[in-house]
Amino acid sequence: MAKKLNIIGTPTPKLDAGIRTTGKAIYGHDMKLPGMLHGAILRTQFPYADFTIDVSAAKKLKGVICVITAEDIDTNTISYKRDHPVLKRGTVNCIRDEIAAVAAETKEIALEALKLIKVNYKPKRGIFDPSDSLKEKAREVNRFLKEKKYEKNVADKFFYEHGNLDEQKKKSAVIVKKKFELQRMTHCCMATSNITADWNVITKRLTLYSSTQVPFLYQRDMAHCLKINPSDIRVVQVVIGGGFGSKLDMNPFEPIAAILSMKTNRPVQILYTREEEFIASPTRQTMNIEMEAGADKNGNFTFRDIKIIKDNGAYTSWGATTPFVMMQTFSSLYQCPACRFESVAVYTNNPNAGSFRGYGNPQATFAMESVIDLLADELKMDKAAIRLKNSNYKGEITGQGLHFETCGHKESLETVIEKSKRQDAGGKMQDARYKRGIGYGSMLHVGGGAKIYRSDGCGTTIKLDDYGYLTIVTGSSEIGQGSETVLAMMASEELSIPLSKIKVVNTDTDVKPWDVGVHASRTTFVAGNSLLGAIDLLKKKLNKKAAILLNTPAEEFIYENEEIKNSNYQSVKIDKVVREIHFASPSELCTETYFYEPSSKFQDKGFKGNVSGTYAFAAQAVEVEVDTYTGNIKVVKIEVAQDVGKVLNPLGIMGQIEGGVLMGVGYALSEELIMENGYVKNPNFHNYKMLTASDVPEINFYPIETNDSQGPYGAKGMAEAPLIPTAAAIANAVADAIGTRIYSLPLTPEKILRALNEKSNNGHSVVIR
């Protein structure tokens, strides 16, 4: 694409920034429908218990319109494995469990009614550690899972291998084997979960004002749950106050709102409190990762052998499929001749895990990059050099069959290694109290969607009106990430229509064409290509008419200043061409539809195959300062280089980079949802420590443009990547600073002090967990 770009690559504020800055955006919390009732959910008090329930007093309260328990509803179980009942009957399995719901005239009455529900619990001893669930005598945690493919309490399992492990082991000069523990992290979307359901008793249709990030899968899941036809459900996406993967699964509160609406024939709204959000939202998976890896005497990686146990919680979400992503990292990030990967998702009586930006990759990358440092230590090799030596390259087809047609891995690494070189030539700041260190991390992630559903495509309909305004109806969704703006920029680039004359419609399943949803950093790539396909069709139509109007062959036209021009500088206004097409016989509209399906393939049973249209790479180098008296870690600077294919909107990219990196810093240093015997101990912002403006380190970003031939203008997906290597790089930097390593996250001051203590006691480094 040699042609000069006008708007692509120019910093462009988000199209919707205006309404979001003036308080005019309507989020789910702001929805009000005539006659709307307020719903509230009663959750269990015990993580594992049998119970009986009596709602009679609640039903009598003035202003209460409807109370439901499992006895009152006829639904299918929900979730990725259909192992999650919407309302629980007789037994609860975790502390988030819904046991009754109320619809009332006001929020206050609904909450009052919950207090009147009498529940008799018989608490039982739950299983909260996956290793206990796997014991022979353990009882069955989830009795709803129908397909009994695996042993007891195993919700899902993945096995992958390539190469000859034994041979590679023999070739290894050094072998490292370590265990890593990853904590529960939660999304903390600033808008809590919300839904407004509106059942129309006359048309027998259901409208859902929802924050889902996958509207078409949601429509299908909801229909299955409620036993109605998907097309009788209209999903209208409200303005979404943060997604980050949390809205990939449908959760029980959503069908509950729908059922309450169907039973009352009135709209029903359910809004989570912040405490409810902490307790009842699926989290990032906690994991135990055991990794063994080797390198030959020259530092070439030889093999990796990985075993992962994931705490699934009581039910199974899409998050159970995170091994798809993790195995890519283990099999294919840095060249690796042999790899074996095994993971199990194990049921426990903890709240269920879900999907979260990075989709298992921050966990995998933490283990991987820690092990690389350890291998370098064993080999007495430079940590930068060992990475560069093994980095991925353009044209590589990995053991798993991923095809890196473009690859900015090495360049990303080189960039951050160079940029993070210490200015003070003397190296480490030698202060008795404050120790400085530098750590590296890199990552591989899908960059062109991920074929895990039957279609990974996206449809677009565009409409150019008689006044030269363009409407883009895209299947994709805006969840704050700025996809609307990027799509409008692409259309503006192609047609020379200014952004002010472009409208993006993307919130209504009755209107928009199919799309699989916002995940896998796929929107810019897939929705972008879909839009460009539609514009191509539209241009053909316009060019044909312009050729007649200008009396030239169609091929030569350029689009400039809302005009179609031929090589003799004769031109005609685009809106005039539209009107000529519309009003002159044979009348036609300037409307086109295009569906784009990426070239990616389903993987085979052994998980081999080119699962994404393209792949994104990134590297980060972090400098930290550890206070050895208090154990506090200060992240001083983060150098970020990322293969984004091509920068489309620098302003949008920077926002994703900074937001993602800070999320990664939180994952590394402070964020953990603490569970104790099945209870969430810190369900509030006071005790769950999200970082604030004062915690932001210096973040420098260096885009690597590899111009992917399949991406729109060469772009790749990029939005998950910034958070993926951050925690890994921070942990490496901390180890570099204090000379001992911590194998779990978050890196709390207590862990640091304990590690320092044990180091000085033993005189050498030890494993701290």
Q: Footprint of ligand FES on this chain (CB under 6 A)? A: 190, 242, 480
Q: Does 119 bind other proteins (CB under 8 A)?
A: no
Q: Which is nearer to ligand FES, 583 or 685 (CB)?
A: 685
Task: Give the single-character DSSP code of 391.
Answer: -
Question: Cβ(531)–Cβ(512) under 8 Å?
Answer: no
In angstroms, rounded to a whole number, what is the distance separating the alpha carbons of residues 525 and 615? Answer: 11
In angstroms, rounded to a whole number, what is the distance separating the alpha carbons of residues 604 and 325? Answer: 15
Q: Does 696 bind other proteins (CB under 8 A)?
A: yes
Q: Does 23 bind other proteins (CB under 8 A)?
A: yes
Burial tier of 278 (Cβ tally within 10 Å: 0-12, 13-18, 19+): buried
CB 241, min distance to ligand FES, A: 7
SS3 363: helix
Q: Does 18 bind other proteins (CB under 8 A)?
A: yes
Tell me which of other proteins, ligand FES, none is bound by residue 22, counting a contact when its beta carbon lies within the kind-specific cut-off of 5 to 8 angstroms. Answer: other proteins
Find the helix or strand (DSSP H, E) in which 115 lies.
helix 107-116
CB 271, min distance to other proteins, A: 8
Return the range that interacts with other proteins (CB under 8 A); candidates 166-174, 295-303, 446-454, 478-486. 478-486
Q: Which is nearer to other proteins, 20 or 573 (CB)?
A: 20
* Per-residue tokens: 602: 């389903």
Size of the site for other proteins (CB under 8 A): 55
CB 762, min distance to other proteins, A: 38
Task: Please state the φ and ψ torsions of residue 107, each to the nearest 5 degrees.
Answer: -60, -45
How, if at all, do strands 338-347 and 154-162 pair? antiparallel
CB 275, min distance to other proteins, A: 8
Q: Of residues 25, 554, 753, 768, which one binds other proteins by CB under 8 A?
A: 25
In angstroms, rounded to a whole number, what is the distance separating the alpha carbons of residues 457 and 630? Answer: 51
Q: Does 284 bind other proteins (CB under 8 A)?
A: no
CB 30, min distance to other proteins, A: 4
Q: What is the largest CA-CA distance in the chain?
A: 91
Q: Of residues 51, 244, 334, 404, which one binds other proteins by CB under 8 A?
A: 244
Q: Does 699 bind other proteins (CB under 8 A)?
A: yes
Tell me which of ligand FES, other proteins, none is bound by residue 479, counting a contact when its beta carbon lies within the kind-specific cut-off of 5 to 8 angstroms. Answer: other proteins
CB 449, min distance to other proteins, A: 22
On the question of a cis peptide bond just before residue 586, with omega within 30 degrees of 0, the verdict is yes
Q: Which is nearer to ligand FES, 239 or 256 (CB)?
A: 239
Question: Cβ(394)–Cβ(405) under 8 Å?
Answer: yes
In angstroms, rounded to a whole number, what is the distance separating the alpha carbons of residues 73 and 231? Answer: 21
Tell me which of ligand FES, other proteins, none is bound by residue 432, counting a contact when its beta carbon lies within the kind-specific cut-off of 5 to 8 angstroms. Answer: none
Question: Cβ(144)–Cβ(85) under 8 Å?
Answer: yes
In angstroms, rounded to a whole number, what is the distance separating the alpha carbons of residues 479 and 484? Answer: 9
| Rounded alpha-carbon distances, angstroms, from residue 10 to 193, 238, 652, 653, 700 | 34, 29, 10, 11, 19
Tell me which of other proteins, ligand FES, none is bound by residue 403, counting a contact when its beta carbon lies within the kind-specific cut-off of 5 to 8 angstroms. Answer: none
Q: Does 14 bind other proteins (CB under 8 A)?
A: yes
CB 230, min distance to other proteins, A: 28
CB 769, min distance to ligand FES, A: 33
Tell me which of other proteins, ligand FES, none is bound by residue 187, counting a contact when its beta carbon lies within the kind-specific cut-off of 5 to 8 angstroms. Answer: other proteins
SS3 108: helix
| Nearest alpha-carbon partner for 192 in 355, 44, 29 | 29
Length of the chain: 769
Return the range that interacts with other proteins (CB under 8 A); candidates 7-15, 337-345, 423-431, 729-737. 7-15
Dihedral angle over CA of 559, 562, 565, 569, nearest 10: -120
CA 471 to chain centre: 28
Q: Does 34 bind other proteins (CB under 8 A)?
A: no
Q: Which is nearer to ligand FES, 123 or 242 (CB)?
A: 242
Dihedral over Cα of 260, 264, 267, 268: its sign: negative
Q: Does 481 bind other proteins (CB under 8 A)?
A: yes
Task: Give the single-character DSSP code of 193.
Answer: P
Q: Which is nearer to other proteins, 354 or 457 (CB)?
A: 354
Q: Which is nearer to ligand FES, 13 or 242 (CB)?
A: 242
Return the range that interacts with other proteins (CB under 8 A); candidates 135-143, 181-189, 306-314, 414-422. 181-189
CB 649, min distance to other proteins, A: 9
Task: Give the single-character DSSP code of 517.
Answer: -
CB 274, min distance to ligand FES, A: 7
Question: Cβ(608)–Cβ(369) under 8 Å?
Answer: no
Return the range that interacts with other proteins (CB under 8 A); candidates 52-60, 73-81, 238-246, 418-426. 238-246
CB 654, min distance to other proteins, A: 6
CB 686, min distance to other proteins, A: 6
Q: Which residue's CB comes closest to ligand FES? A: 190
* Per-residue tokens: 235: 């999903």
Question: 110-149 in b/e burial notation, b at 16+ Cβ within 10 A?
Answer: bebbbebbebebeeeebbbebebbbeeebeebbebbeeee
CB 193, min distance to ligand FES, A: 15
| Nearest alpha-carbon partner for 304 in 400, 445, 177 | 177
Q: Which amino acid appears at position 718 of this protein?
A: M
CB 640, min distance to other proteins, A: 11
Q: Does 519 bind other proteins (CB under 8 A)?
A: no
In angstroms, rounded to a whole number, what is the distance separating the alpha carbons of residues 516 and 167? Answer: 42
CB 512, min distance to ligand FES, A: 23
Q: Of residues 694, 760, 763, 764, which one binds other proteins by CB under 8 A?
A: 694
Q: Which is nearer to other proteins, 692 or 760 (CB)?
A: 692
Q: Which is nearer to ligand FES, 242 or 337 (CB)?
A: 242
Q: Which is nearer to ligand FES, 548 or 696 (CB)?
A: 696
Q: Does 27 bind other proteins (CB under 8 A)?
A: yes
Q: Which is nearer to other proteins, 344 or 662 (CB)?
A: 662
Question: Cβ(729)–Cβ(440) under 8 Å?
Answer: yes
The residues in 627-686 that bind other proteins, with binding defined as CB under 8 A, are 651-652, 654-655, 657-663, 684-686
In angstroms, rounded to a whole number, what is the distance separating the alpha carbons of residues 640 and 635? Answer: 14
CB 188, min distance to ligand FES, A: 9
CB 357, min distance to other proteins, A: 10
Find the helix or strand (DSSP H, E) in which 651 lies.
helix 650-669
Tell me which of other proteins, ligand FES, none is bound by residue 694, counting a contact when its beta carbon lies within the kind-specific cut-off of 5 to 8 angstroms. Answer: other proteins
In angstroms, rounded to a whole number, what is the distance separating the alpha carbons of residues 26 and 20? Answer: 9
Tell me which of ligand FES, other proteins, none is bound by residue 762, counting a contact when its beta carbon lies within the kind-specific cut-off of 5 to 8 angstroms. Answer: none
In angstroms, rounded to a whole number, what is the distance separating the alpha carbons of residues 566 and 550? Answer: 8
Q: Which is nearer to other proteins, 583 or 685 (CB)?
A: 685
Question: Cβ(551)–Cβ(568) under 8 Å?
Answer: no
Question: Cβ(149)–Cβ(320) under 8 Å?
Answer: no
Tell me which of other proteins, ligand FES, none is bound by residue 651, counting a contact when its beta carbon lies within the kind-specific cut-off of 5 to 8 angstroms. Answer: other proteins
Q: Which is nearer to ligand FES, 311 or 484 (CB)?
A: 484
In angstroms, rounded to a whole number, what is the distance separating the alpha carbons of residues 671 and 430? Answer: 30
Q: Give the contacts of 72 (CB within 8 A, at least 6 positions apart).
A: 263
- Residues in contact with other proteins by CB under 8 A are 11, 13-14, 16-27, 29-30, 187-192, 239-244, 273-274, 479-482, 651-652, 654-655, 657-663, 684-686, 690, 692-694, 696, 699
